[in-house]
Structure 1
Amino acid sequence: MSNAFRDLLKKVGSGVHTGEDLTRAEAMAAAKMMLLQEATPAQIGAFLIAHRIKRPTGEELAGMLDAYDELGPKLTAIDSALQPIVLGIPYDGRLRTAPISPIIVLLLATVGQPVIMHGSDRMPTKYGVPLIDLWQGLGVDFSKLSLAETQRVFATTGIGFVYLPQHFPQAQTIFDYRDQIGKRPPLATMELIWCPYAEDARIVAGFVHPPTEGMFQGALSLRGISSFTTVKGLEGSCELPRDRTAIVGVFADNTLVEHLHLSARDYDFASKNVPFESTAQTVADMQAILQGKPSELMQTALWNGGFYLWRSGICEDMRSGIAMTEELLTNGKVAQKLQEVSQSLSSTMLAG
């Protein structure tokens, strides 16, 4: 048993009247002791549920990010005129709406915008379809790459995937506790703004509940990251919904510059999301999109692609971004990027 961890547990788990928030240094220490298994299983489980009940502060999230920064993997800079975008997508995946993120990542990489993703396998508490499964369905298996191999694919294609079981096993061990306590702990919030990149990057973080934006702002400010984007997206992802107004927070110099309110109807898209049926069906639909075939999921790809091309500075507005997305999908350029990624991955693995 760790007496030091027990003291931190007592602070967050003492209830409404006597409980206390952790300092940034204490939160970092607690996260490190959990990641390194210096705390006992009983202590870790108690901390995670107590901290969820208490709710995290931005300072505590900053401390947890400090621990991830010290112990976790990082991709390094590549030859690109654009800062990479790091997508903060919930690790426990999607169950209700069909995801489109791999198509958007391929689209951005096609126009020279590097993108970094991070995640794992199916995991608690939702056990929805994760990014890694979708990429595997498209013929790209990032799970087999070492970090050095991931770096080479990232440098070659502009797409990187930090896969926790392979690249950050200390963090992967925490997921068993999530399953056992049956709730998503504050670490799940922190993961949305984790940046496994050694240089400056543009963080785009999905979220569900409005107070989360304030936590993001507090944590990233303490970490010296003052410009980022938040998306109240589908199931907490970075994907814009079609059935409701998409709310996007644009932060610069640690200030909320504006909340964009984007309605799919204003851009001639139907006000409905594509339901998730199965991983196989979603992969088949994405493959059809890459062939330029019209579909409801193609409409979702156009809606999201237009937004990301605009906000990346590739296009001057949403409408031109939507038009460019349609052109790149129908002329086969995005499909070519997928083939390039697949070939890069294969050659990298053969090179060892």
Structure 2
Amino acid sequence: MFAAVLHGPRDVRLDRVPDARIERPTDAVVEVALSAVCGTDLGGYLGVDPVSGAQRMGHEFVGVVSDVGRAVRSVRPGQAVLAPMGWSDGTCSFCLRGLPTSCRSGGLWGEAGADGCQAEAVRVPHADGTLVPVPGTADAELLRRVLPLADVLSAGHHAGVTTKVRPGRTVAVVGDGAVGLCTVLAARRLGAERIILMGTHAPRLSMAREFGVDDIVLSRDQAAIDEVRALTGGDGADAVIDAFGSEQSLATAVGVAKSGGDVCLVGVTGQPTWVDVNAMIRRNITLQAGVAPARNYLPELLDAVLADQIDASPLFDKSVPLASVADGYAAMGERSAIKVLVSP
């Protein structure tokens, strides 16, 4: 079969790789219907996070089960399924605590020894703990709306849950990429009274307006902090999400938080990041960070998608066939696309 493989900075190729197949009784094989290029995929592509040797790419996909191991009970061949950004068994102590991303026998798509999702098919370890059936047939439009749940929409929802977004709260989002825009969507669904987005890219800001943002701040650094505080009567925001992931964006997030507020870091920094802990202590600010436990949220968010309560599919502003996946990476690297959809 064919799969996207990163060989070095800006060198993504469609390589022939071994066919995905059942290796253990708990495995399933899923034929990929749609996958996506994520901002975190760009670390290796742009050379920020150098890779050692060839690396399979992609961690977001929906598809149709083609084969299952003899121990699999929750899915069957011919069934449309959604997977989170990695696999987990659903039974270890971390999974039972709600941390499938720390599963003792789990892993992430595209890491060493694992299938990437920008491929014709994927071997899914621990299929029962990982895959979520999508009702009905594999309708292309439905799968397009479901795909963001694999990562970015779950990340935005996680940020909202972590920062206690609810009616009456003001939310500030730092970063206008796919995760930032999904955070706007999630915050609106969770009932936020006011949503402020800090960003600079016109097409993304236009989409943010469609997603429900109330105020847009174009300034950066201290000027952005001052503007958000002016918009909130000097207090700052109750909930702040850093969806960009840099030392400066985190400093901005802490700076715009109200005393006693909550800050969540969901952007992937790729580098060690310093934060002014003393400022947080003085103002009783709570900071949480971590990979979204997407598998926990999939049933709830899938129901919301099916009920037309949330739709992040407009993020896919460029589509490429798998054979042209390198063009998708180039578009993301040049910021001419928000998020790229990859079809077979």
Is the shorter-chain TM-score for this pair beyond 0.5, marking a shared fold? no
Q: TM-score, normalised by structure 2?
A: 0.28
Q: TM-score, normalised by structure 1?
A: 0.28
Name the one with the larger strand percent.
2
Name the one with the larger helix percent.
1
